[in-house]
Structure 1
């Protein structure tokens, strides 16, 4: 089908729009529920079946969410009927479920004209299928660095959701509601999307380029604009740390003035605060991804795995390998 096909061409259909949700093991339940219930609410408010949906798994069996709740699916990848939209829902440990059969099916249905969506780490599947090269996509901020490293030809953003041709991608969480409201507006009408938003006590349908994360001023309880700017720069440059003197210069302060600002507001030096951001990011990657220690070291701005491991042990009192081993034991005990 021609690339000029757009989501808007789904509007005006006299039949229900058929939407498939591919549930990858460990999918985030809240994100999926937000997507599904927006359609259910749309049918209720429109007083007709605007949307129909099916739950799909790779093997046709039940799909278990990251919270442990399992959902019975009604279709298997490759053995389903035609869909207008297919949305891949994935969360942590997404690499464990990479499937050549799923990738081939995604390519097939896209070629047939299907709109493809992804939430949270679902974008990894579209990219792995070779569909997102040169396309904008939204990825959860925790996985953004990993995605950019694995798929440098994709235009990964920190927007809450993106729309690029027949691709819809959400960074996950509540941003998925905003993505679905965009989809509903394109298919039906904005008035219906606004009614759904009201029903969910969602006072504002956010733009795609709204920030994913709370601003530093809110998260750290600070009011100084220069301090907030510096923290944002730190958070966006964990893989390539910026010199403290350069950070100070960016807000027209001397390094000593910046240090005083950090101490007065956060009771830490800029260097210590920066280190803690990098260490917390490293621990998140160790616990939530299958990246090697070498890859995590690079993602957090360290020249070598040994250099990274030394700082990590100083900070957390255990090596990266010990953190992963303890997490594996904990998961096995809960299984």
Structure 2
């Protein structure tokens, strides 16, 4: 570490915690283009826990595959404490990923994850770390999650795995969170389990963080919040569209399933969204395609089909209209 020990002075809040055991160790493996926010959001509660109790409750270490600095998704470079190595028996290891997660974990990293899992270590994924966990074969029937933006691409790569919409999941030896401030919620949950609710509340206040209310909290605002309406028919229509991206429904099929006339449906969308139902649906499918373009290695044709387009040519034309570049040139721009 860059400072002496894991306890810093200066916290206004203080809490005596009756604890005489060994500190718990956390290891954060940063993959190339990892997202920095959730990594910091996971570490800061540990630092503050030590600070307000004046006790070394936790220790944390940053790792990279080879021990060399890694560039994060925001362009900042992080110098690690150490290279990949076996974890202590009671440590927790997190793989931290970000953009382009389907290509960021090498076979060295995947073998390390498999070995640590085999030896019974607690492992987790932060932000898009679930991609590496899935590639290593560690995700099966247990609940897990990753950032909502990356879930469509994940499902295309791993069709037998279904991520949770929750901000974090802690199930046995597996810990995953959706990134961002969800990492803080996950760590506060772990701290509360180990050292009590009072300490977790103080840490949340020090972080100016309003706790989500548990791991069952959803990552995304629901449609009612997003559109400023609680009209149940409109919300049901939007959810039905979202659930039918790959095989889009016609407006007649939408109306039949919603038990509503076409005129009523069009009035709802016009009133609350100032758009026609099919225009909203079309944009939803293109946004889905955009996510797949960013987060998978799927071909343009595969993405077109997964987004409900029967023609790759038609898809490419509509993609360029919305995003300003054809899918091929778009992908070249960030490759």
Query: What's the TM-score bracket when you normalise by the shorter of the two chains?
Result: 0.7 to 0.9
Aligned residues of 1:21 and 1:86 also touching (Cα < 8 A) = yes
Q: 1:64 to 1:313 in 2, by over 3 A?
A: closer
Correspondence for 2:97 among 87, 90, 98: 90
C-alpha distance after superposition, 1:78-137 (max 9, x if no partner): 366556100111000123322111111111112222111111110011111111122221
* Deviation at residue 49 of structure 1 after TM alignment: 0.9
Secondary structure class of the residue paired with 1:138: coil
Aligned residues of 2:319 and 2:327 also touching (Cα < 8 A) = yes
Residue in 2 aligned with 1:162? 169
Aligned residues of 1:134 and 1:153 also touching (Cα < 8 A) = no
**Distance in 1 between the 2:136 and 2:179 partners?**
20
**Distance in 2 between the 1:137 and 1:294 partners?**
29
**Distance in 1 between the 2:138 and 2:324 partners?**
42
Correspondence for 1:22 among 11, 25, 29: 29
Using the size of structure 2 for normalisation, the TM-score is: 0.86
Q: Does 2:85 align with 1:61?
A: no
Q: 1:293 to 1:169 in 2, by over 3 A?
A: same
Using the size of structure 1 for normalisation, the TM-score is: 0.86
Residue in 2 aligned with 1:189? 196
C-alpha distance after superposition, 1:36-58 (max 9, x if no partner): 10111111122211110110001
Residue in 2 aligned with 1:128? 135
C-alpha distance after superposition, 1:193-230 (max 9, x if no partner): 22212222223343222221112232233343322232
**Distance in 2 between the 1:107 and 1:313 partners?**
41
Q: 1:197 to 1:295 in 2, by over 3 A?
A: farther
Q: 1:45 to 1:229 in 2, by over 3 A?
A: farther
* Deviation at residue 34 of structure 1 after TM alignment: 0.4
Moved more, 101-110 or 143-152: 143-152
What 5-or-longer segments of structure 2 have no aligned partner? 1-18
* Deviation at residue 139 of structure 1 after TM alignment: 1.9
Aligned residues of 2:87 and 2:93 also touching (Cα < 8 A) = no
Residue in 2 aligned with 1:41? 48
Q: Does 2:108 align with 1:117?
A: no
Residue in 1 aligned with 2:79? 72
Secondary structure class of the residue paired with 1:14: coil
**Distance in 1 between the 2:162 and 2:114 partners?**
19
Residue in 1 aligned with 2:15? none
Residue in 2 aligned with 1:213? 220
* Deviation at residue 288 of structure 1 after TM alignment: 4.7
Residue in 1 aligned with 2:154? 147
Give the length in aligned residue pairs.
317
Secondary structure class of the residue paired with 2:33: coil
**Distance in 2 between the 1:212 and 1:13 partners?**
36
**Distance in 2 between the 1:38 and 1:324 partners?**
37
Q: 1:202 to 1:309 in 2, by over 3 A?
A: same
* Deviation at residue 294 of structure 1 after TM alignment: 2.7
Aligned residues of 1:88 and 1:122 also touching (Cα < 8 A) = yes
Correspondence for 1:279 among 282, 286, 296: 286
Secondary structure class of the residue paired with 1:213: coil
Aligned residues of 2:157 and 2:296 also touching (Cα < 8 A) = no
Correspondence for 2:187 among 156, 180, 188: 180
Secondary structure class of the residue paired with 1:97: coil
Residue in 2 aligned with 1:200? 207
* Deviation at residue 307 of structure 1 after TM alignment: 4.1
Secondary structure class of the residue paired with 1:229: helix
RMSD value, Cα = 2.3
